Amino acid sequence: MSLESDINSLVTSVDLELYDTVVVSENDETIYRVSVISKEVIDGKRSGVSLDSCVELTHMISPLLDVTPPVSGDYRLEVGTPGIERKLSTLKHFLKSIGENVSLLLSNKEKYKGKLLKVENSKIILNVEDEVVEVDFKDISKAKTYFEW
């Protein structure tokens, strides 16, 4: 099994979903970031993830990383949520964001903002001002969720 699938098993065991794992460098420090989301959806919105759940997962994942380090050298493990406004860089991210507001920038510089309705194969389908818009995933240069305050 791969490290990500092992982490996914641990995340699933506490009734959460693995959103992403990524290695980032911030302030001359290497961080192995594990992002999780709630499985629970109420009134079309995902529930939050408690700090206690993140701490519990940190304690579960840490020994695994002692055996299978994600990077060579020193790093810090960070377990949290990807946030209310987050980058969408894979089809998996789009699938986990159905029902949310998304902003897309296409490679031809077109921009769309609307509610993500569904993902079919590699097509991203949005409701933009009561009009259904279909975009091919390969044509997206930047995408993120956004929150209307």
Q: How confident is the model at residue 1 (pLDDT cuts 50, 70, 90)?
A: low
Average pLDDT over residues 80-98: 92
Report the pLDDT value the prediction gives residue 41, as an integer from 0 to 100: 81
pTM of the model: 0.83
CATH number for the domain harbouring residue 110: 2.30.30.100
Residue 24: how many CB atoms within 10 A of its CB? 11
What is the reported pLDDT for 22?
Answer: 93
27: tokens are: 């302030």
Burial of 89 (0-12, 13-18, 19+ CB in 10 A): middle
| Residue 85 falls inside a structural domain | no
Instruction: Answer yes or no: is pLDDT of 4 > 70.
Output: yes
In a domain, 86, yes or no: no
The domain that contains 45 carries what CATH number?
A: 3.30.300.70
